[in-house]
């Protein structure tokens, strides 16, 4: 067993997968998801019992996230290069779509999208309603074009600017 040391906390890192973990074969240097989850469960247990604090627990998660993002950067660059290469080949061949044995490729041309500033549009609707008469009728028509949908919540992580 090796250890990751984080300020105020020593987190065990198992060199063997836990008995309940599914067997996974990870490339050398890649984190094992079962070990990562075990580490997170351990740290959360320490947090629940008061053996560590919230800040330290978050640092454990963020350290793991930094490691993973560092490992993924070259993979993402290679993926982007492979996609650009396929697009270049298709453009060279004058193809918009093609199929291989297991994939369909479509070259989507650049296009323009349109969106509206929600706050300005709400303000315009309010102004039209306040004006009354035909303007209020127009505001009601505009308001019926509004669509709302639910979006799942997520954790936003931003780096602080270094001073």
In terms of domains, do 140 and 80 share one?
no
- Which structural domain, as residue segments, surrounds residue 87? 2-106
Considering the domain boundaries, does residue 155 fall inside one?
no
Q: What confidence category does residue 161 fall into, taking pLDDT thresholds of 50, 70 and 90?
A: confident
Mean pLDDT of the chain: 86
In terms of domains, do 51 and 10 share one?
yes
Record the pTM.
Answer: 0.58
In terms of domains, do 20 and 91 share one?
yes
Residue 6 vs residue 54, higher pLDDT? 54
Buried-exposed string 6-34: b where 16+ CB fall within 10 A, e elsewhere? beebebeeeeeeeeeeeeeeeeeeeebeb
Q: What is the pLDDT of residues 99-130, one digit of tens each?
A: 998 899 999 988 998 888 999 999 999 999 99
Q: What pLDDT does 129 receive?
A: 95
Contact indicator for 3, 15 with CB cutoff of 8 Å: no
Contact indicator for 33, 24 with CB cutoff of 8 Å: yes
Q: What confidence category does residue 160 fall into, taking pLDDT thresholds of 50, 70 and 90?
A: confident
Considering the domain boundaries, does residue 23 fall inside one?
yes
Instruction: For residues 73-81, give the mean pLDDT.
Output: 95
In terms of domains, do 123 and 50 share one?
no
Task: State the helix-helix crossing angle for 133-144 and 118-131, rounded to 10 degrees.
Answer: 150
Instruction: For residues 50-56, give the mean pLDDT.
Output: 97
In terms of domains, do 80 and 32 share one?
yes
């Amino acid at each position: 067993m090796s250890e990751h040391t984080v300020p105020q906390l020593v987190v065990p890192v198992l060199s063997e997968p836990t008995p309940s973990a599914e067997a996974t074969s990870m490339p050398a240097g890649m984190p094992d998801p079962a070990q990562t989850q075990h580490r997170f469960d351990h740290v959360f247990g320490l947090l629940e019992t008061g053996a560590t604090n919230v800040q330290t627990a978050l640092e454990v998660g963020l350290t793991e996230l930094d490691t993973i993002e560092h490992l993924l950067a070259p993979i993402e660059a290679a993926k982007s290069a492979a996609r650009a290469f396929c697009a270049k080949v298709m453009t060279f061949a004058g193809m918009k779509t093609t199929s291989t044995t297991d994939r369909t490729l479509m070259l989507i041309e650049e296009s323009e999208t349109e969106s509206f500033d929600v706050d300005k549009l709400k303000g315009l609707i309010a102004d039209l309603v306040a004006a009354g008469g035909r303007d209020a009728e127009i505001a009601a028509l505009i308001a019926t074009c509004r669509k709302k949908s639910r979006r799942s919540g997520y954790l936003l992580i931003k780096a602080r600017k270094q001073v």
